[in-house]
Amino acid sequence: MLPSGRRRAGALSPLTTTLALLLLFTSTASAAVLGIDFGTLNIKAALVKPGIPLDIVLTKDSKRKESAALAFQPTRDDKNNIVVKEGSFPERAYGGDALALQGRMPGEVFPNLKQLLGISGDRAAEKVATYKQRYPAVQAEHVEALGTTVFKSAAFPSEHLPYSVEELVGMELANIKRNAELMAGKGSSVNDAVITIPNFYTADEKRAIVHAAYFAGFNVLGLISDGLAVGLDYAKTRTFPDVSKGETPEYHLVFDMGAGSTTASVLRFQSKSVKDVGKFNKTIQEVTVQGVGWDRTLGGDALNHVILDDFVAKLMAKSEVESRGTTEAEVRSNGRVMARFWKEAERVRQVLSANSDTSAGFEEILPDIDLRVKLSRAEFEKLTADYAKRVTTPLEDALKMAKLTSKDLKSVILHGGAIRTPFVQSQLEAVVDDKAKLRSNVNPDESAVFGAAFKAASLSPSFKVKEIRDSEAATYAASLVYQDNGKERKQGLFTPKSPAGAGATIKQVTFKDREDFAFGFTQSVEGADRPILEVKVENLTASVDQLKSKFSCEKDDMIVRFGVKLNANFGLPDVVSGSVGCEVEDVAKSGGVGDSVKGWLGLGKKKDQEPLTGEDDTPVEDVSATPSSASGSSSASSSSSGSKETASSPPKTRVEVVMLKFSTSPQGNPQPDAAQVQRLGERLKEFDASDRARTARDEAQNVLESYTYSVRDFLENADFSAVSTKAQREEISKLLQTTKDWMESGEPGKAATEVLKEKYQALKNLVDPIKARRTENAQRATLVPALQKSLDKAKKSIAKYQDKIEKAKASLTASSSSTTSAPPAASSDVDDLEEPDTSSAPEPEASKEPSPLLNLDMTSINSVYDEITTWLSEKVAEQGKLKPFEDPVLLVKDLERRSTELKDAVDDLVRRASVKPTVKKPPKPKASPKPKPSKKAESDDAAPAEREPADTPEADGEKPVKGGESIEDMMDWLNKARDKQKDAEVPPRDEL
């Protein structure tokens, strides 16, 4: 397929440039993105929003991380039995609140769900078995036909469809989303996110976490490995060696040991000069993954399990347990016992990271049996000796893949909660050539989430961040699978080290098919090929017929080609283009008007629109999908040579290309169709609506309960007794007692929100009028004197301005009687005309400005004053006749309104009194007309070409010819012309 032409940078039209600048500076005020570090034990999130750069999202308890746990709280009756009702939903608890319920309802708490995402086959059975060992009360089951693990809850009827692990994880992520939107502020929405994943995630696991995020309402901008996320956080405030200047890049290894797994990532950090706009270059930072290693089961949970096993062994060794005949299987299947053991095992491990020994106590771990356990660090390290040997394997695998040694590393960046375990660091020190390379130069708990948030901001068009080009490694080899003569063929495309992101290669795969066909991609995971994507070509047959009928192309001469690339944001093979083409005879055409216009506008002709050599950073490889190349090797050529086939083509031929339509469908674990996804999404929305309704009901109940205490205090207050009657108080007291009895009966727990609001409103309707009278009486005592004082001030202001008006009128009358007429400036019009041009007429004496008070209208202020004075007098008299417990007629709101009305009237009077009246300026005296010019002067006003010889400059000062003069020549000619005019005593002309 021929490369598509693109315009040179310097040939953009002004309109295109303007639109590009508008798009560049356009930003959505409410735009916000989220980076999520989804861990086995905890979930952390960092928000990026205009005004909030990279800040951790706090939980409702103001913690910087949320425990990765979810719980359902079933509805119970008076006898504490679970009430199951179709169509109803239990209350959900998240994080620490969920874990707190493990002791009472272990089967309804779902922690550490990350390890169950996207699993399949034998690994799924193993993972689910391990999960049920740790949480035996949880009803979890892997359903291979659905491609997911499902969970049942006693809070729902038995026929209720179980919840998948993706749905439960979606609920946890939705809780994070709500916290982020609360932090972002009212009216803000947080929809875009980047989520961290371990570097060993397969296509199925990546899709599972994306599905979960979809259920939470997120648009996943991309997935980023934990190691690369830490690398971005490390790089965002640093600069690295410039390889464009021959400097050597830096290599760092991120060793991440969390609760569920351990990973190692070798990262290359470097600076590089790349082409910028026009002829300019810019320096960017690059962070690329060079090698990865991992251990899926080595983490804090595995070490906790060792301690838990020690607890069980010591419990079984107690004589009381042996005498009862309790078996170990019975203990391990007891959900409450295992939940208590697991919680304490995690605490013990964390304590032993800083202390040499610790103890744990369990009261009534079994009926009438207590357990007290002591554990030292030496004993713990002996129990975990087999795990300690596995610590360095991920590091060694990552170095091997990167073809480096520990001597090539500048540092080993430690990340993850389990990295604090003492024997972990001692094992790393044994394999690193220099102990000083082990560094905690990033936040071991939050570096990954900050890197994910930085990545999210860089992918969002609403933010401009430091330019860091990053690239993941494919981790798993990917191959092309297709049919050839009825046989399945496989063609290797990507290796585990192939880059996904900056520097990724486009594989141009050529096929022999000339009819609609299908091909797919597989991922090599642990020695087995798993299908990940199927591609169906939809219009190849029609396109071949079109080329044959329209251009007389032969099928054997046609080329079918597809471009395949590792997706930069998800690391999976992605088909970016498809085409079929053939060479046809080219008829030479002369350049038309269009080419001329393009050249005039600076857009260039067609030949100027070819791709610039070396301008495209994406390398291209040609791969032939033929049986001879099924061994996995591929013929590669550079992007410059492989993309310019037309350069070597005969000058009178061209390649006619038809773009192909194709559809893709994910393979591997069964994926829900669109209808199923919509149905599951609706179910989660109903769950959310149930939570909102429950929250509203609980709030209504709390408001009612709080109000009953307020009314009780109200009845005991003597101030309210003065503004109410005995009958009114007795009515309130009776209703209050009835409401309290109803609340103590337990009915509020069953009552609907509307019932609670009605009871609250019934009390409020009786109490509010009494409270209003008390408030009115208290505020009226202050507002009435204040309004009367304002009226007195207004009265004085009116009298003052009335006096000023009278004085201004008297002054105007006196001034008019003393005015005399001024003598004329000239004896006659003729005399005026004969005055020389240089004389000036005498300025008339400026008239005295009239006072602004002369036309001041006092009608409006007098009207407002009289109206308010009368109103206040009448209302005060009416109010004085009323009892304190009667509804007032002189209301506070009316007093405030009248005060504002009076103030506005006075302010208007002051404003009008200060406005100066407009005074007409006397007309300027007419200038004396100039003497009538002579004929000689008239001739001087003619064009230079018509001058008489006597008036023209000398030969060496002739005026330059029009079109050939310079500024110096013209100025020289003007100066000489002025000198000659002075000698002739002729006034200079206006135009010169």
What per-residue confidence (pLDDT) applies to 327? Answer: 93
Give tens-digit pLDDT for 301-321: 999 999 999 999 999 999 999
What's this model's pTM, rounded to 2 decimal places? 0.76
Dump pLDDT digits (tens) for 520-566: 999 999 889 999 999 999 999 999 999 999 999 999 999 999 999 99
pLDDT at 913: 80
- The pLDDT, as a whole number, for residue 834 is 44
Instruction: Report the CATH number of the 33-217 domain.
Output: 3.30.420.40
Choice between 714 and 923, residue whose per-residue pLDDT is larger: 714
Given a cut of 90, whether residue 456 has pLDDT beyond it is yes
Q: Which residue has the higher pLDDT, 209 or 11?
A: 209
Q: How far apart are CA 944 and CA 839, in angstroms?
A: 33
Instruction: Please give the pLDDT value at position 918.
Output: 60
- What is the pLDDT, as a whole number, of residue 247? 95
pLDDT greater than 90 at residue 225 = yes
- Res 987 pLDDT > 80: no
Looking at residue 84, its pLDDT comes to 79
Q: Can you tell me the mean pLDDT for 68-95?
A: 85
Task: Answer whether residue 842 shows pLDDT above 60.
Answer: no
User: What's the CA gap between 459 and 585, in Å, rounded?
Assistant: 45
pLDDT digits (tens, 9 = 90+) for 670-708: 988 888 888 888 999 999 999 999 899 999 999 999 999
User: How much is the average pLDDT of 62-72?
Assistant: 96
Mean pLDDT of 882-896: 90
Whether residue 723 has pLDDT greater than 90: no
- 460-501 tens-digit pLDDT: 998 989 999 999 999 999 999 999 888 999 999 999 999 998
> What pLDDT sits at residue 932?
55
In this predicted model, what pLDDT tens digit does every residue of 739-782 receive, in sequence order? 999 988 878 878 889 999 999 999 999 999 998 988 988 899 99
Give the mean pLDDT of 924-938.
Answer: 54
Partnered with residue 500 across adjacent β-strands are 472
Residue bearing the bigger pLDDT, 111 or 883:
111
Instruction: Please give the mean pLDDT across all residues of the chain.
Output: 83
| SS3 label, residue 703 | helix
Distance CA 890, CA 892 (A): 7
Q: Which pLDDT does position 19 carry in this prediction?
A: 38
| Confidence check: pLDDT of 933 > 60 | no
Buried b (16+ CB within 10 A) or exposed e, 30-69: ebbbbbbbbbbbbbbbbbbbeeeebbbbbbeeeeebbbbb
Cβ burial 90-109 (10 Å sphere, 16+ → b, else e): bebbbbebbbebbeebbbbb
Q: Which of 49-58, 297-306, 592-601 has the highest mean pLDDT?
A: 297-306
Q: How confident is the model at residue 911 (pLDDT cuts 50, 70, 90)?
A: confident
Q: Is the predicted pLDDT of residue 989 greater than 80, yes or no?
A: no
Q: Give 381's pLDDT tier (boundaries 50, 70, 90).
A: very high
Which residues, 6 or more positions from 77, have their beta carbon under 8 angstroms from its beta carbon?
A: 83
**CATH-assigned architecture of domain 673-809+852-919:** Up-down Bundle (1.20)
pLDDT given for residue 988 in this prediction: 42
Write the pLDDT tens digit of every residue in 941-980.
444 444 444 444 444 445 555 555 556 666 676 777 766 6
Alpha helices in 602-673 (DSSP H): 639-642
- In percent, how much of the chain has pLDDT > 70? 80
Query: What is the CATH architecture of 300-388?
Result: Alpha-Beta Complex (3.90)
Helix (H) or strand (E) holding 16: helix 14-25
* Segment 181-210 mean pLDDT: 94
The share of the chain scoring above pLDDT 90, in percent, equals: 58
- In the structure, what pLDDT confidence band is assigned to residue 623 with cuts at 50, 70 and 90? confident
Q: Is the pLDDT of residue 602 over 70?
A: no
Judge whether 300-388 and 673-809+852-919 match in fold. no
Q: Which of 15, 19, 49 is nearest to 32 (CA)?
A: 49
Lowest mean pLDDT among 42-46, 258-262, 560-564, 777-781: 777-781
Per-residue pLDDT for 135 more than 80?
yes
- Range with the poorest average pLDDT among 233-242, 397-406, 431-440: 431-440
pLDDT at 811: 80
Q: Are strands 192-197 and 163-164 parallel, antiparallel or unpaired?
A: unpaired
249 confidence band (pLDDT: 50, 70, 90): very high
Domain residue extents for the chain? 33-217, 300-388, 476-586+615-666, 673-809+852-919, 935-983
Structure tokens at 740: 């309290």
Nearest to 46 by CA among 148, 150, 140, 176: 176
Whether 988 and 974 have beta carbons less than 8 Å apart is answered as no
- Confirm if 525 and 540 have CB atoms less than 8 A apart: no
**Residue 243 pLDDT > 90:** yes
Average pLDDT over residues 232-254: 95
Rounded distance between C-alpha atoms, residue 665 and residue 344, angstroms: 46
Provide DSSP, 353-392: TTSSEEEEEEEEEETTEEEEEEEEHHHHHHHTHHHHTTTT
